[in-house]
Chains A and B, each alone.
Chain A
Amino acid sequence: MSKKINLTLKVWRQKNCKTPGAFETYQAREIDTAMSFLEMLDFVNEMLTHEGRDPITFDHDCREGICGSCGAVVNGQPHGPLRGTTLCQLHMRHFKDGQTLVVEPWRAKAFPINKDLSVERSSFDRVMVAGGFISVKTGQAPEAHAIPVPKEAADNAMDAAQCIGCGACVAACPNGSAMLFVGSKVSHLNLLAQGAPEKKTRVLHMVHQMDHEGFGNCSNSYECEAACPKQISVSHIAFMNKEYRQASIP
């Protein structure tokens, strides 16, 4: 059963990527524990709007943990303290009455801040443009059963393909590295027979673009795996390393 709690919020407010930001403190009173974290922010925004103060900007859309729009660092942890959960699926019952929550945007060089908690993640799209696809045109596809895919490979590919592109891995990584994001896409496509013809260029080009965007290097701290709302395994990073090694040796 839900109950009401009071919270102190320290929220990062920043007008845009050019102006410096700072924390502002808000009192969030009478928060129902059945609310999601974003509903709590909505609630605070309603309060701010009534007071004539600028509401907090944060990206969100589906609110069921799949679109990958939302995300903020809550008390030092991307998407908050609950493992395998996006911010929109994190409910307030996981917080205590009287608790102070520090809410910050993802921070990484490759994710400039748009406003408040919203960051620009188009670097991810550009990594995808570099090779995150199988070059089959509409109409070229053979009959679906023409190439059987072993269940194990299909399941592994699916594990990797679950990535929602939220960027929590980058936010959690002490080096701002996007290896889990890139690794899971390389894994997804390179594990399937359909992705095999382009597997070498795919990994080379995606890694090249990843570096170009200014993401850091993996130091195998595995913080990304712990922060990933889909709990994608770092074994996909190892897989990418292997694919990269094999692809770069002519």
Chain B
Amino acid sequence: MFSNSSIFKKQVVAFTGLLLIFFIFTHLGGNLFIYAGPGVFNSYAHKLHSVGPLLLLPRTLLFIIFVIHITFTCLVVIENIKARGGHKRYSMQKSVGNRSMAESIMPYSGLYIFVFVIFHIIDFAFANQHGVRSFLHGRSYGLYGIVFNSFKDPVYDLLYIFFICFLGLHLCHGVQSLVQTSGFRPKWASVIKMISDYFALLMILGFSSIPIYVYILSRP
């Protein structure tokens, strides 16, 4: 009776969101190995792959979490559209004052992230580790090479950073929102809002630094 309730759905979105945040955080940690050079970076990638079938479990879990996050969000969004009562609700739509840009574009930033993540997985995770794209100066550098080759392209970099900014926006509302939705310590609201903003900024800076670094490095 209650498992289908609005709050339950939102708490599911919040909880899966939290897990995804953990993933993003570790993902960034892994990515930052790039600064240590191809050896360390590739051995990190290699170690990850060497667990073999064991990696399948976290990957499947991650996939399920991702799907749940999206499915429940879709359910919530559909209900919200219905509840609003009409597509163009007020002839003069105006924020009363509290709504942030990050909040108002949540479903869109989410959609954009979804599309990009698929592309990203195909682009990096499923790429042939020793294929043409991994070649630097005539020899394969594995995943490092693929990353390096991709980020050499300024257009690719801009698209990537653009995506990261969306991810940041998604996170800066998402983090504080998940705290509110799970009903954690209402009194800390302003602190949590601050943490949320800084966390998002950190993620943006962390992820964006890599293409910039590679781009600068690749310049003759």
When A and B assemble into the complex, do they touch directly, with CB atoms less than 8 Å apart?
yes
Give chain A's interface residues, CB within 8 Å of chain B: 10, 23, 73, 75-78, 83, 102, 104, 107-111, 172, 174-177, 204, 207-208, 210-211, 214-223, 225-227, 233-245, 248
Q: Which residue of A lies closest to B192 (CB)?
A: A238
Give chain B's interface residues, CB within 8 Å of chain A: 1-11, 76, 79-80, 82-86, 89-100, 103-104, 106, 173, 176-177, 179-187, 189
Least CB distance, A216 to chain B, in whole angstroms: 3
Contacting pair B5 A208 (CB below 8 A): yes
Choose among A217, A223, A227, A237 the residue that contacts B80 (Cβ–Cβ < 8 A): A217
Contacting pair B180 A215 (CB below 8 A): no
Least CB distance, A102 to chain B, in whole angstroms: 5
A238-B183, A242-B183, A245-B11 are known contacts. Are A111 and B85 too (CB-CB below 8 A)?
A: yes
Query: B97 to chain A: which residues have CB within 8 Å?
Result: 83, 223, 226
Contacting pair B189 A220 (CB below 8 A): no
Question: What are 25 pairs between A and B in contact, CB < 8 Å?
Answer: A10-B91, A76-B90, A76-B93, A77-B96, A175-B79, A175-B80, A177-B80, A207-B5, A207-B6, A208-B5, A215-B6, A216-B6, A216-B80, A217-B10, A217-B83, A219-B103, A221-B104, A226-B96, A238-B179, A240-B183, A241-B11, A241-B181, A241-B182, A244-B11, A245-B183
Query: A207 to chain B: which residues have CB within 8 Å?
Result: 2, 5-7
Least CB distance, A109 to chain B, in whole angstroms: 4
Least CB distance, B210 to chain A, in whole angstroms: 31
In angstroms, Cα B82 to Cα A239, docked, is 26
Question: Which 4 interchain pairs have the tightest Cβ spacing?
Answer: A242-B183, A76-B94, A216-B83, A241-B183
Contacting pair B187 A216 (CB below 8 A): no
